[in-house]
Amino acid sequence: MDHEPETCSVCGLDPVVGSPARPSRIVARSPAMRAMLCRARLFADTNAPVVILGESGSGKEVVARALHGSSRRRQAPFIAVNVAAVPTELLESELLGHARGAFTGASTARRGLFEAAHGGTLFLDEIAEMPVAFQAKLLRVLQDGEVRRVGETHSSLVDARIVCATHRDLPGLVERGLFREDLFYRLNVLRLRVPPLRDRPEDVLPLARAFLAAEGRAELVFSPAARKVFARHRWPGNVRELASAVKHGVALARGGVIDLEHLPDELASPSAAPAPRPQGVDLRSLAEVEREHMLRVLEACGGSQVEAARHLGIGRSTLWRKLRE
Ligand SMILES: Nc1ncnc2c1ncn2[C@@H]1O[C@H](COP(=O)(O)OP(=O)(O)O)[C@@H](O)[C@H]1O
Ligand SMILES: [Mg+2]
């Protein structure tokens, strides 16, 4: 088991992240990841907003926590909100808080997450999923540095450093009118891009060993065949996928070795890999490709046709008609 230094000697970023209850270390052996962390270290001490880009599971939240943990704000709270997980109608009261009696069910006043993050960092995960209507309100808060709880008449000053993350192409969304341009420029001051795991093979085994240690099974080893598969796999789910593969291995291994047969099917037998990309020329009709894309967007929007139509840039009735065809 390799030991990481307390503070990274390369970038000076405090590698201990995670919640206080479950601290964890950032594993970064690859030059790409180290370069990104060096950049993050430079950003830690400013108050400017940071946008973290990268595929799902690549470690965006880990980086956001490290930014906070290495900043002067580290004693104050790090508050993470997954924008995509909060229902649209609750987003405003979640983030800004509400007065007592502001709406049915608001029996007591409640502060929002902006206020909770005062002096610290507010991490807005999946920022691209923020409804356009609320984007205007967020911009207002960022410009004025104050929040007004729902149903309240006065505002209060808040000082929360904003870090956002998305796996989507934000400039592309701005171009298509799905993300406000003014908010984009406000947020997109400093940018970090977390490389996908397949682009940093040097990190795979150290990460896998760190996950073994986290399971309390640091004594287990990976067989040469398992290591070979780790090196060959494309890791569409990135570090998160690797973490579950290791858990899978730990659960099935008998004895001290995690072998191929203990790993999830999609790793152990490449033929079981989900949705292999079509080889050679894709000869599907436009209608087929369109339909598949619409269904994928619909699924990503949790089945909401309104949301899906918005992302697709078509009317809801058009979407409905096309899906019926
Ligand atoms: N460099 C890393 N070192 C240690 N653990 C990591 C690293 N990158 C990701 N993880 C772990 O992988 C999982 C996914 O990371 P997360 O930051 O949630 O990804 P994202 O926010 O990009 O979807 C988490 O459990 C996280 O702790
Ligand atoms: Mg995440």
| CA gyration radius, the chain | 22
Ligand nearest to the CA of residue 192, numbered in listed order: 1
- Residue 151 belongs to a domain: yes
CATH number at residue 209: 1.10.8.60
* Statement to judge: residues 114 and 42 lie in one domain: yes
**Residue 10 forms part of a structural domain:** no
Give me the pLDDT at residue 4, please. 37
Same domain, 131 and 255: no
**Ligand 1, atom 25, residue with closest C-alpha:** 240
Whether residue 8 is contained in a domain is answered as: no
8 A C-beta contact, residue 63 and residue 13: no
Give yes or no for a contact between 96 and 114, defined as CB atoms under 8 angstroms apart. Answer: yes
Closest CA to 60 of 126, 128, 129: 126
Do residues 49 and 162 make contact, with C-beta atoms less than 8 angstroms apart?
A: yes
Q: CATH number of the domain that 162 lies in?
A: 3.40.50.300
Of 193, 211, 240, which one is at a domain's C-terminal end?
A: 193
Our answer on whether the CB atom of 28 is closer than 6 Å to any ligand 1 atom is: yes
What residues make up the domain containing 258?
199-272
Q: What is the CATH number of the domain that holds 297?
A: 1.10.10.60
Q: Ligand 1: does its nearest atom lie under 6 Å from the Cβ of 61? A: yes
Predicted pLDDT at 106: 84
Nearest CA, atom 8, ligand 1: 59
- 143 class by beta-carbon count within 10 Å (0-12 exposed, 13-18 middle, 19+ buried): exposed
Query: What does each of the 325 residues of the chain score in pLDDT, given as a tens digit?
Result: 333 334 444 444 554 444 444 445 799 999 999 999 999 999 998 999 999 999 999 999 999 999 999 999 999 999 999 999 988 888 999 999 999 988 888 888 899 999 999 999 999 999 999 999 899 999 999 999 999 999 999 999 999 999 999 999 999 999 999 999 999 999 999 999 999 999 999 999 999 999 999 999 999 999 999 999 999 999 999 999 999 999 999 999 988 999 999 999 989 776 655 554 555 566 677 877 788 788 888 777 767 788 888 888 888 888 877 777 6
pLDDT given for residue 272 in this prediction: 53
- Long-range interactions of 168-175: CB distance < 8 A, separation 24+: 168/128, 170/51, 170/53, 170/127, 170/128, 173/128
**303 and 255, same structural domain?**
no
Is residue 15 within 8 Å of residue 25, measured between CB atoms? Answer: yes
Provide the number of structural domains found in the chain.
Answer: 3
* Residues 87 and 206 grouped into a single domain: no
Residue 155 and residue 243 in one domain: no
**214 and 184 assigned to the same domain:** no
99 shares its domain with 188: yes
In a domain, 280, yes or no: no
Last residue of a domain, one of 193, 226, 257: 193
Q: Is 7 a member of any domain?
A: no
Same domain for 230 and 120 = no
Which atom from ligand 1 is nearest to the alpha carbon of 33? 1
Domain assignment of residue 277, yes or no? no
Select from 240, 241, 242, 246 the residue to mutate for testing ligand 1; criterion: most ligand atoms less than 8 Å from CB: 240
> What is the pTM assigned to this prediction?
0.80
**How far is the C-alpha of 130 from the C-alpha of 125, rounded, in Å?**
10
Q: Give the C-alpha separation, 4 to 16, whole Å.
A: 10
What pLDDT, on a 0 to 100 scale, did the predictor assign at position 295?
81
Q: Which atom of ligand 1 is nearest to the CA of 167?
A: 22
Asked if residue 6 is part of any domain, the answer here is: no
Q: Which atom of ligand 1 is nearest to the CA of 239?
A: 12
Is residue 54 located within the same domain as residue 132?
Answer: yes
192 C-alpha vs ligand 1 centroid, how far in Å?
Answer: 15
Residues 107 and 153 in one domain: yes
DSSP-assigned beta bridge partners for residue 16: 25
Which of 34, 55, 61 to mutate to test ligand 1, by most ligand atoms within 8 A of the CB atom? Answer: 61
Question: Does 290 lie in the same domain as 268?
Answer: no
Given 193, 217, 238, the domain boundary residue is 193
Tokens 């420029």 correspond to 185
Q: Are residues 211 and 176 in the same domain?
A: no
Task: Check if 24 has its Cβ closer than 6 Å to any atom of ligand 1.
Answer: yes
Per the domain annotation, does 1 fall within a domain? Answer: no
